Structure formats: C-alpha cells, structure tokens
C-alpha cells in the first residue's frame, strides 16, 4: 500500500522547486541523462544530482545507470496521486457551492447574493 500522507508531502515538496519542475518537464519529453537534465540549469552538477535525489525520493522519477551514464525517466503514477488530491478538493468545494446554491434557491429566491455563511 501507499502511504498517502507522506507520499503527498514528498511529491508536492518535490514540485515546489522551479529547477525540479524544469527537470520533470524535460523528462516528460523523454528519458534523459543527468548532464542533459543539468544543461538548462544554472548550477553545479552536484546540485542537480541533489535535486534528482529529491525527485527520486518522491517517486516522481526513476533512474538507472548503464555504463557511466545514468538515465532518468518520469514515473507518472505519483503525478496522478497529486492531481487526484487537487481534483478531490475541487470536487467537494464545488459540490458545496452547488448545495449552497440549491439552498438559496429553495429558501430565499429573491435574496440572490448571500455568501457569508459561517454556519458551524
């Protein structure tokens, strides 16, 4: 099984850095070596390797070394997990607004724009 909480922590944290997102974007277009990933980034190779480690720890990226080159590829399952969390948030939020709309339509069809419902 997959530990939702900790996994989401790692995925969102991995995506919270622009260099790492650049790497993920690059890998979306196909596998790449470490130095290919490094090319567009204005930092040392070791720094890139550290970012890669974060991406691998999150499960977003897998890599394999053949000869002296390490080839990295994206792992979309984890990306789906993050997407699902967001989608679910949106779903509950939207259904709440729907229910609120229904409620307003039912009880007070003339009072249109009432949103300040700190109901509790």
- Catalog residues that contact DNA under the rule CB under 7 A: 13, 16-17, 19, 33-36, 38, 42-47, 49-52, 54, 65-70
Cβ atoms of 22 and 29 closer than 8 Å: no
- Taking the alpha carbons at both ends of the chain, their separation in whole angstroms is 35
From the CB of 93, what's the least distance to a copy of itself, in Å? Answer: 5
Q: Looking at beta carbons only, is 15 or 41 nearer to a copy of itself? A: 15
Q: Which is nearer to DNA, 107 or 120 (CB)?
A: 120
Among 2, 50, 89, 105, binds a copy of itself (CB under 8 A): 89
Q: Which of residues 2-31 bind a copy of itself (CB under 8 A)?
A: 5, 8-9, 12-13, 15-18, 21, 24-25, 28-31
């Amino acid at each position: 099984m997959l530990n939702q909480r900790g996994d989401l922590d790692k995925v969102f944290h991995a995506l919270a850095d622009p260099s790492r997102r650049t790497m993920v974007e690059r890998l979306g277009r196909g596998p790449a070596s470490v130095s290919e990933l490094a090319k567009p980034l204005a930092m040392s190779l070791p720094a890139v390797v550290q970012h890669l480690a974060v991406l691998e720890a999150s499960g977003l990226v897998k890599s394999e070394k053949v000869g002296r080159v390490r080839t990295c590829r994206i792992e979309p399952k984890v990306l789906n997990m993050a997407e699902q969390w967001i989608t679910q948030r949106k779903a509950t939020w939207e259904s709440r607004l729907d229910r609120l709309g229904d409620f307003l339509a039912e009880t007070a069809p003339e009072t249109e724009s009432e949103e300040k419902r700190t109901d509790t």
